[in-house]
Structure 1
Amino acid sequence: MTIAVGDHLPQASFKEKTAEGPVEVTTEQLFKGKRVVVFAVPGAFTPTCTLNHLPGYLEHRDALLAKGVDAIAVIAVNDWHVMGAWAQASGGAGKIHFLADWDAGFTKAIGLDIDLSAGGLGVRSKRYSMLVDDGVVKSLDIEENPGQATVSSAEAMLARL
C-alpha cells in the first residue's frame, strides 16, 4: 500500500556520506520536530535526476528554507558511495541530505518502489516529492512517468508551500 497524506512515515534508516565515512540517519533523526522536503529519484547520476530534478532543489534551496522548511533530502536506491559522489559532483554536498536507501527498505515500506529491470536498473524508487512535518506526510506528489520531474519538482513544491 502506498503511503498517503496524513500517514506517519515508517521507521527506517539511510546512509549518508560524510568526511568521516558513512553515517546512519534514521527517520526519527531526520523528521522529528522538523519540517522536511523530501524528493526521491530512480537513480543518482541518471539523466532526468541529474539534469532536471536535483538542480531545481539546489537552485531553490534558500527559497524553500525561507518558507519554513528545516531541511531538504533526496533519497535514491543507491549505495552511500554513489550518493556521496553525486553530492560532490552536483555541488549539493552540505546543502541537502543525499540519503542512500541501499536496500530499498524505506522505499518499499512506503509503497513507492518500481521495477525498472527492463531498463537495466532493477528495483528503484518512483520519482516523488513530499512535505513531511514531524514525521507526518503533509503533501505527496508522485510522477506518473519516471522520466519526468514536473509535479515533484522544486518549483511545484515551492508553489505548494
Structure 2
Amino acid sequence: MQIKEGTIIDLEGKKLYTYHLDSKTDRMERIILYEFMPQGDFLFPQITIARQGEFEKEVLKLKEVALYRFGKEHRLTQQGKFDSQSIYLNDQLSQKEREWKRNDELSLNRISQKIREEKARENPSSEEIKELGIEFHGRTAMPLATLLFALIAVPLGITMKR
C-alpha cells in the first residue's frame, strides 16, 4: 500500500490522510481517518484522529486516538479517546485490490510482464496495452536519450582542432 504525505488514500470505505510520513520508518504522524458507516443513521463519516500510526501488514495501528460520530442534525452523538486502536483491513480488501497498483507505481519488469500477460489473453485490451506501453517507454526514453547523447557528444567534445 502506497502511503503519501498530504494525500488522501482510499481504503475501501475509509479515507486516510496523514500530515507527516517518516520515509525511513513509514511511521505516520497526525492522522485523520474518515470512515463512512454503511449501517445506522449516520449522514457524516466517523472521524478518527490519531497522533501516530503505522501499518503492520494489513493492520493500521494508531496511538493516542480520538473518535467522533455525528448523527442527524449535524450533532456529535458519540465521542471517545483511546491510547491505541488497531484497524484490520484484510477483511475489507480483496486479494486483487491489495495487489493492484497504478501503472506509475509498478517496476519496469512488472510493466513488461503485464504487457506480455495482456497480449497473451484471449481478448487483449488494446487500451490497457497502450497505457502500459506509454508508461514503459516514458520511463525508458529519458535515460536512453541521455546515454545516446553522451555517446555522441563525448567523442565530438574530445576531438582536437588543428
TM-score normalised over the length of structure 1 = 0.20
Greater relative contact order (Cα 8 A, min sep 6): structure 1 or 2?
1
Q: Which of structures 1 and 2 has the bigger CA Rg?
A: 2
Q: Please, what TM-score do these two structures have when normalized by structure 2? A: 0.20
Q: Which has the higher strand share?
A: 2
Structure number with the higher helix fraction is: 2
